Amino acid sequence: MININKSPSPNFNDRRDGKTPSLIIIHYTGTKRAADAAQFYMNTTTDPNAGPISPHYMIDVDGTVTQFVEEDKRAWHAGKSFWNGETDINGVSIGIELVNEGEFADYPEFADRQIEVLIQLCREIMERHGIGVDGVIGHSDIAPDRKKDPGPSFPWEHVRVELQK
């Protein structure tokens, strides 16, 4: 079981129409520090470049996990997106942000500890919600024309192999 810090974001709502999680969406924060990303998740501005946004979880480079939104709620991480005919991706997903600067720093590698914890967290979420490995995807998969995360340095092959164990 992972130790999870709680920092409730005001940026969420109820899942609609009886929807439940069937996807896990992996993102990068685009920030150097977790604290910088967390400020966005607590921000209630209507500026589309600054919020309001929220993931369910964020994993820092040292493996620290913070939960911003409860899994039974609809976090605001996917934006305009679609997958297999579904356009309310926030309504059917759990969003996980990894602290990483991504495209803003030429796609740095993800920390080993961060990926280990991501795999463990994904396994727990998959178990709770009956999500298969094929339901663990990136933000770039659901919004290919506008998003690049988790980016080319994300170790998809390793993560998928580990999730299948």
* Separation between Cα atoms, residue 6 and residue 65, nearest integer Å: 9
Residue 33: φ, ψ to 5°: -125, 145
3-state SS class at 21? coil
Which residue has tokens 């605001």? 76
Q: What is the rounded distance in angstroms from the CA atom of residue 67 to the CA atom of residue 56?
A: 6
Q: What does the block give as tokens for 47?
A: 């500026």
Catalytic pick among 71, 86, 97, 127 = 97
- Is 127 considered catalytic here? no
Residue 107 has a CB neighbour count (10 Å cut-off) of 18
Residues noted as catalytic: 97
